[in-house]
Amino acid sequence: MDSIHLRIRIDRAIAEQAMKMAQARGMELPDVIRMMVTKAVQIGDFSIEQERSQQQEAAKAARPYYAYDERQWNSMKSVLDAELALALLNQYIASHSLQIEAMTDRGAPNIPVVEKLTQERDEARKTLATLDPTDTKAVQAILERLGPPAEPPEPTEPNGKDEGSSQ
C-alpha cells in the first residue's frame, strides 16, 4: 500500500481525551484519524455533522401523533375517546384506592382526606357503571376532567449529543 506519513499538532487535552475514547473502542488514535479521513474522502465532505444532520432531518420528517390527518381517524375517534375515558376512570379509581389503603395502613389516617378520597372514588365508580360510551358529551367531560392537557406537547429538538459519547 502506497502511503504518506503525516505529522499534526493538536491540543494535549483533546489528544488525551481522544486517545482514551479510541482505547475504549479497542483502537488507537491514528486508526481513528485514518478512518475519519477515509470517510471524508468517500462522502466528499469534511463535515463531521453530515450524519447527525441526516438524523435530525429524519426526526423532523417523522410526524408527531397529533399531526396526522384527522379525516383518517374521524370514524374511530369516538370509539378511541370512549376507550380512553374508561381507562382514565379505572386509573382514577385505582389511584384513589391505593391512596386510601396507604393512609389506613399507616395507623392514624387523616380522616377528612380519606373521606374525600372515598367520596371521589365512589363518584367515579358510579360514573363508570352508568357511562354510555356512545354519549360523546359524557365521554368528553371525562377526558377534560381526567385526561392530559388539550394542547399537544412542544416537539423537542435533538440536543446534538450522542447518548454514548463522553463530552
The predicted-structure confidence for 83-93, as pLDDT tens digits, reads as follows 999 999 999 99
User: What pLDDT is recorded for position 151?
Assistant: 62
Is the CB of residue 19 less than 8 Å from the CB of residue 12?
no
Which residues in the chain land under pLDDT 70? 1, 48-56, 58-69, 150-167
Q: How many residues appear in the chain?
A: 167
- Alpha-carbon distance 128 to 134, whole Å? 13
- Whole-number percent of the chain with pLDDT over 70: 74
What would the pLDDT profile of 1-36 be if each residue is shown by its tens digit?
A: 687 888 889 899 999 999 999 898 888 888 888 888
Residues 6+ apart with CB under 8 A from 128: 86, 89, 90, 93
| pTM for the whole structure | 0.48
- Tally Cβ neighbours within 10 Å of residue 145: 13
- Alpha-carbon distance 148 to 93, whole Å? 17
- DSSP letter for each residue of 72-84: HHHHHHHHHHHHH
